[in-house]
């Protein structure tokens, strides 16, 4: 498993990056798509794989200081 930073490309959504533990970039994006599908209240469009980009895998030692992973 790896840590991936999934980035929201579409400003229509919250614009938050999400840190995800997954086996691959594709799996990381799918987890975020599934998360937004569960949270969808019908007021915004459905998040798709095309709305996301991935940085990673991210290694914890890449960060100079401690941080909260959201």
At 10, is the secondary structure helix, strand, or coil? coil
Model confidence over 15-50: pLDDT tens digits? 678 899 999 999 999 999 998 888 777 766 788 999
Nearest 5°: CA angle at 57, between 55 and 58? 85
pTM summary value:
0.80
Confidence of residue 70 (pLDDT cuts 50, 70, 90): low
């Amino acid at each position: 498993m790896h840590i991936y930073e999934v980035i929201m490309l579409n400003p229509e959504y919250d614009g938050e990056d999400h840190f995800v533990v997954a086996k691959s970039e594709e799996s990381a994006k799918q987890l975020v798509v599934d998360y937004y599908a569960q949270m969808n209240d019908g007021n915004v469009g459905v998040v798709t794989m095309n709305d996301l980009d991935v940085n990673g895998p991210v290694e914890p030692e890449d960060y100079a200081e401690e941080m909260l992973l959201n």
